Amino acid sequence: MNENSEFSHSYNQHSMPIKSYLAHPIAGRKDELLAALKGFDQCEVLPAENQNILALVTDTLNDKEDEILKEKIEALSSLKLLALVSGFNTPQ
Amino acid sequence: MYDSLTNRRNFIKKMAMLSAITAAASMFPGIVFASEQEKGIPDNANLDWKKGPCRFCGVGCGILVGTENGKAVAVKGDPNSSVNKGLLCVKGYHQIMCIQSKDRLKTALVKKNGNYVETPLNEALDLVASKMKESIAQNGKDSVAMYTSGQSTIPEGYIASKFMKGAIGTNNLDCNARLCMASAVTGFLTSFGADEPMGCYEDIDHADYFVTWGNNMAEMHPVLFSRMLEQKAKRGAKIIDFATRTTRSSTASDKSILFEPQTDLAVANAICYEIIQNGWVNKSFVEKHCSFSKGLTHIGYGLEDNFQFTDKPEKIDFEAYKEFLKDYSPEKVAKYSKVSVKDIKYLAAIYGDPNKKVVSYWCMGMNQHTRGTWINNLVYNIHLLTGKISQPGNGPFSLTGQPSACGTAREVGTFTHKLPHGVVMNKKDREMAAKIWKVPVERIPSKPTYHATEMFRAVDRGDINFIWVQATNPLVSLPKTSRYRPAMEKKSCFVVVSDVFPTPTTDVADVILPAAWHIEKGGLYGNSERRTQYWQKMVESPGEATPDTWMFIEVARRMGFEDLFPYSKENHVEEIYNEYRQFHEGAKHGMAPLEVLEKESGAIWPYVNGKSTQWRYNAKYDPACSNGEDFHFYGKPDGKAVIWQRPFEDAPEKPDQEYPFWLNTGRVVEHWHTGSMTRRIPVLHQAMPNAYAEFHPDDAKSLGIRNGENIKITSRRGSCTLPASINERGLPTKGQVFVPFFDENMLINDVTLDSFCPISKEPDYKKCAVKVERA
């Protein structure tokens, strides 16, 4: 591979993470989870119309903030499982 | 691409959301986010959505590309496409992200004193034309060659064929579809006399059973697999996975049956044995619509340069065929296939049940096989014996790997033996080509020359002195690259490569031509279900990147063929398609006019009286049937499909004491083929950054191999070092190693064997013998 290629080392920067997840709510508590996630400024959430699942994107300023947000989400009682799908970093 | 950091972050957030939606779609077939996707686009975004086919794989999903201020900023599935109904896989959603890669080829590069020098495109094309002319003048027409692609658009393939065969007068044209689809072609031609599947994707909505033969559809054709899973959930349709390795497809199926590599030939015959023994033959169908033949046996493996083989078909009768099958009772076959008698009988009972509709799907497992034509024939035998063919929900269906392996490689005919209609060996086909191309018929040679593997052998021998490689990356994708990389580096051959990105193949080029990416030009693709799809240019190319069709035309004109290539730069795609359509006029292969393709998300040929033909050879659907019966296999002169007597024969190289493992190679869902595009898409690269070697846990334990540990895999041809993967993505059977081939930094094709099916000339990437050791 061409050593100048961007993609081979584009993940070495440590800043401003954007991550996407699938959030699985506890049965019957999808609306509650949706409302809770919408309450976080750093979250964008899309509920599936015909399945018990939500697509979630988090946008934070740095790794520390990302970590704190994740802890808060995982503490939500309406959440059964949070599965990471992808992660991006962009330069500050 | 990005006006500001905010725009870039918004774009990435969109892509991140699409990743999550795609992941959800793979877990929950039929999941709906579509309206939410629309809501997620800002009201003031002012996106212009343009339709086209996806760039990756042969499924041919319809995409909508959102452009803003002349830039592509979003992709979504086309809800009006009957192929994908708004769904896309992870590659499809992210496809446009590669075109902004920093190392995108934007100018022509000419090698001077060992260094690449940026050169005006016109000057580079002058050089290409002069080198081609020089080679022809010094060494004859057959000293120049072109190697194209199943990713070439229909106009690109058509102009390549017209240029090489009609203008220059050499059959030195072949393509990478030889590496993936050639056995499907020869299978169709020998069994039915006409190429490409008789059915369509709508079969999925009708079938009771899907039997996948060596085909990991969950990763290779995920949108179609999700449609199957939807039918599983909705109607109770069953998926049976018949393979040599446990994959994501296996775990999502109702039943997984594993077999010893190469013995699919024997199991297919055993299924036919059982169908006959149990009286499940559809006698009236077979009597009216089938004949029986056998061919030569012990036909070799193509390992020698200049290997030649011609089959000698011989008619037989049903009784002779029945007698032949006595060697394939389930009890006999179970001993070497490692498939239990019970499972063989289970498979036969599915096909044999007259009340169940069955579709068989396959792709590389059956095609990349030293007996690829035979195994294609054998699966057709099963469907023909039971009459389960050419009806909604019943049929054999060969899937393709590339977006236009069907439309371009097979229909336009970018193989050495092919013409846009028919073959070079046929005088009438040459006459038709000569008339439409306006060239003397004598100029089109009647003898095929080099298929893909032999073309690169000819480069190595010094028999080819000029080669133009377009839209493909053979120094990652050919088998036994350990021979062909040094061959392409030889001074005896001038190498031209046109591509979008640098690859290991551009690394050996004398001239690199910057190509436009698919949405940067107009074009047409043809997918697995005979669907032709048209799209118009959506965005401008960067720098001097130019459509390949136009670069071919420019070089042809520089070589003195101006009169044969009179197309306009603005409308050449449309002008070329209209010229090409003449080759297929009629009820058997009529192509839809452009005005139809402009409006619709593709049309299936034969397109007759304003209508697509979904099921060929069935008089109810196919206007070309003319024998007054329910079915008419009109590709054969007698109107009958052929049931072939084809035996089991061993692979050319099997595990032994020195090389005790089978090596199987393949793909992963995140990357498309050699990864030159998908590895430049950050989300896909991050998800699957490098290749790996899968082991069975028992083998890993006995070798003392830990997960992630570097392992050296060695064959008689070369070696490759990769991290071990134990019980992760896939699970090979004991005694087998699996390696995906997308990673140019871990070239597993240095290890593979360049044996091929003597009939199709398609290499077998699924079976050779290797040893493994800790690196």
Q: What is the pLDDT of residue B27?
A: 65
Alpha-carbon distance of B504 to B515, in angstroms, equals 16
Residues ≥6 apart with Cβ < 8 Å to B239: B209, B210, B212, B228, B229, B232, B249, B252, B253, B254, B255
User: Do A88 and B685 lie within an 8 Å CB cutoff?
Assistant: no
The answer on B757 and B682 residing in a single domain is yes
* Known catalytic residue at B181: yes
Contact assignment for B33 to A48 by CB distance below 8 Å: yes
CATH number at residue B25: 2.20.25.90
The tally of CA atoms less than 13 A away on the side-chain side of residue B33 is 29
- Per-residue pLDDT at B739 exceeds 50: yes
Q: Which residue has the tokens 């212009």?
A: B48
Q: Is A80 exposed, middle or buried (0-12, 13-18, 19+ CB in 10 A)?
A: middle
* Sheet of strand B603-604, all strands in order from the earlier edge strand to the far edge: B523-526, B531-535, B603-604
Interface of A with B (CB under 8 A): 1-2, 4-8, 10-11, 16, 18-22, 44, 46-51, 53, 55-57, 59, 83, 85-88, 90-91
CATH number of the domain within which B503 lies: 3.40.50.740
- Please answer yes or no on whether B17 and A20 come within 8 Å at the CB atom: yes
Residue B731: pLDDT over 60: yes
Contacts of B511 (CB under 8 A, 6+ apart): B108, B109, B110, B111, B124, B127, B128, B131, B494, B495, B496, B497
Which residues from chain B sit within 8 angstroms of residue A20, using beta carbons?
16-17, 19-20
The DSSP code for B168 is I
Domains delineated in chain A: 16-89 (3.30.70.920)
The CA distances from residue B634 to B182, B386, B642, in Å, are 21, 19, 12
What mean pLDDT comes out for the span B702-714?
Answer: 96
Q: What is the pLDDT of residue B5?
A: 60
pLDDT (0 to 100) of residue B599: 94
Burial of B494 (0-12, 13-18, 19+ CB in 10 A): buried
B311 and B445 co-located in one domain: no
> Same domain, yes or no, for B439 and B566?
yes
Classified as helix, coil or strand, B292 is: strand
Residues of B in contact with A51 (CB under 8 A): 24, 28, 31
Q: Could you tell me which residue, B12 or A17, shows the higher pLDDT? A: A17
Residues 6+ away with beta carbon under 8 Å from B503: B473, B475, B476, B497, B674, B676, B744
What are the pLDDT digits (tens) for A60-92?
Answer: 999 899 999 999 999 999 999 888 877 765 544
What is the 8-class DSSP label of residue A27? T
The whole-angstrom separation of Cα B365 and Cα B288 is 32
Tokens of residue B27, six digits: 């877990």
Q: What is the pLDDT of residues B395-407, one digit of tens each?
A: 999 999 999 999 9
Taken in order B675, B679, B681, B683, the sign of the CA dihedral is positive
Which member of A22, A50, A90 has the closest CB to residue B20?
Answer: A22
**In-domain check, residue B125:** yes
* Count of all residues that appear for chain B in the document: 775
Contacting residues for B590 by C-beta, under 8 A, at least 6 apart? B584, B605, B606, B607, B608
Closest of B560, B533, B499, B524 to residue B157, by C-alpha = B524
Quote the minimal CA–CA distance from A2 to chain B in Å: 7
- Asked if residue B606 is part of any domain, the answer here is no
Same domain, B392 and B430: no
Any domain includes B599? no
| Mean pLDDT to the nearest integer, B159-173 | 98
Q: Tell whether B9 is within 8 A of chain A (Cβ).
A: yes
Whole-structure pTM value: 0.89
Q: B728: domain CATH number?
A: 2.40.40.20
Best residue in B2, B17, B476 for a mutation probing chain A (most A CBs within 10 Å): B17
B732: Cβ–Cβ under 8 A, 6 or more apart, which residues? B244, B245, B246, B664, B694, B695, B696, B738
Q: Please indicate whether, in this complex, the C-beta atoms of B20 and A2 are within 8 angstroms of each other.
A: no
SS3 of chain B: helix, strand, coil, percent, to 5:
40, 20, 40
- CB pair distance less than 8 Å for A53 and B683: no
- Please identify, among B66, B100, B134, the residue that sits at the C-terminal boundary of a domain: B100
Place B29 in a pLDDT band, splitting at 50, 70 and 90.
Answer: low
Q: Are residues B351 and B202 in the same domain?
A: yes
Residue B604 lies in a domain: no
Tokens of B445: 């040679």
The size of the A-B interface in CB pairs under 8 A is 108
Mean pLDDT of B270-297: 98
- Report yes or no on B611 lying in a domain: no
Q: What is the pLDDT of residue B43?
A: 55
- What residues of B are in contact with residue A46 (Cβ under 8 Å)? 17, 20-21, 33, 36-37, 40
For residue A24, the distance in angstroms to the closest alpha carbon of chain B comes to 11
Contacts of A85 in chain B (CB under 8 A): 16, 19-20, 23
Quick one: B267 and B384 in the same domain? yes
**Which residue has 């997620």 as its token pair?**
B40
Q: What ipTM did this prediction achieve?
A: 0.85
Q: Is B355 exposed, middle or buried (0-12, 13-18, 19+ CB in 10 A)?
A: exposed
Mutation site, B1, B7, B102, B743, interface A, largest A CB count within 10 A: B102
d(CA A89, CA A18): 6
Cα–Cα dist B559/B32, whole Å? 54
Same domain, B169 and B187: no
Residue A86's DSSP bridge partners are A20
* Residues contacting B325, CB < 8 A, separation 6+: B269, B272, B273, B276
Number of domains within chain B = 4
Q: What is the mean pLDDT of residues B164-174?
A: 98
* Residue B488 annotated as catalytic: no
The residue among B4 and B635 whose pLDDT is bigger is B635
The pLDDT of residue B24:
76
Residue B646 has a CB neighbour count (10 Å cut-off) of: 23
Question: Are the CB atoms for A56 and A47 separated by under 8 Å?
Answer: no
Q: Where are the alpha helices (DSSP H) in B305-463?
A: 318-324, 330-337, 341-352, 364-367, 372-386, 427-437, 452-461
| Residue tagged active-site, from B15, B180, B551, B768 | B180
Q: Which of B550, B501, B498 is nearest to B521 (CA)?
A: B550
Name the residue with higher pLDDT: B489 or A18: B489
The DSSP result for B190-237, as a single string, is HHHSS-S-SS-GGGGGT-SEEEEES--HHHHSHHHHHHHHHHHHHH--
Most confident of B93-102, B389-398, B721-730: B389-398
Contact call for residues B451 and B478 (beta carbons, < 8 A): no
Query: Which range has highest mean pLDDT (A44-53, B83-92, B426-435)?
Result: B426-435
Best of A4, A20, A52 to substitute, by most chain B Cβ atoms within 10 angstroms, is: A20
Predicted confidence (pLDDT) per residue in B204-243, tens digit: 999 999 999 999 999 899 899 989 988 998 899 999 999 9
Amino acid occupying residue B11: F
Mark out the alpha helices in chain A (DSSP H runs). 30-38, 63-74
Q: Which of B12, B13, B31 sits opposite A50 (nearest CB)?
A: B31
Q: How far is B506 from chain A (nearest CA, A)?
A: 10
**Is B141 annotated in the active site?**
no
Residue where one domain finishes, among candidates B42, B75, B100: B100
Q: Does B763 touch chain A (CB under 8 A)?
A: no
Beta bridge partners of B50: B65
Give percent helix, percent strand, percent coil of chain A, each to the nearest 5: 25, 35, 40
Distances (CA, A) of B512 to A6, B105, B468: 20, 9, 10
pLDDT digits (tens, 9 = 90+) for B420-466: 999 999 999 999 999 999 999 999 999 999 999 999 999 999 999 99
**What's the rounded Cα separation, in Å, for the pair B75 and B95?**
8
Judge whether B582 lies within some domain: yes
> Is the distance from CB of B756 to CB of B302 less than 8 angstroms?
yes
- Answer yes or no: do B114 and B93 share one domain: no
Which carries the bigger pLDDT value, residue B56 or residue A6? B56
Residues B431 and B539 in one domain: yes
Q: Are residues B752 and B708 in the same domain?
A: yes
Residue-number span of the structural domain to which B758 is assigned: 661-774
Pick the residue with more confidence: A3 or B73? B73
Last residue of one domain, picked from the residues B551, B568, B587: B587
Same domain, B435 and B303: no
Token readout for B420 is 């846009």
Residues in A touching B9 (Cβ below 8 Å): 16, 18, 59, 90
**Shortest CA distance to B176 belongs to which of B349, B403, B332?**
B403
pLDDT at B73: 85
B91 flagged as catalytic: yes
Distance CA B432, CA B148 (A): 23
Interface with B, mutate which of A10, A85, A90, A92 (most B CBs under 10 A): A85
Domain presence at residue B440: yes
Residue of B248, B196, B254 whose CA lies nearest to B220? B248
Tell me if residue B407 is catalytic: no
What the block records as the tokens of B384 is 């023909």
Report the pLDDT averaged over residues B532-547: 97
Tally of CB atoms within 10 A around B596: 16
Evaluate whether residue B650 is within a structural domain: no
A45-64: average pLDDT: 88
CB contact under 8 A, B13 and A59: yes
Mean pLDDT computed over every residue of chain B: 94
Average pLDDT over residues B302-327: 98
Partner-chain contact B20 A20, CB within 8 Å:
yes
DSSP 8-state code for residue A13: -
Same domain, B267 and B133: no
B1 touches chain A (CB under 8 A): no
pLDDT at A14 over 50: no
Chain A residue with minimum CA distance to B37: A46
- Residue B680 in this model has a pLDDT that exceeds 80: yes
Q: Which helix (H) or strand (E) holds B703?
A: helix B697-703
Does the pLDDT value for residue B42 go beyond 90?
no
Q: Are B597 and B532 in contact (CB under 8 A)?
A: yes
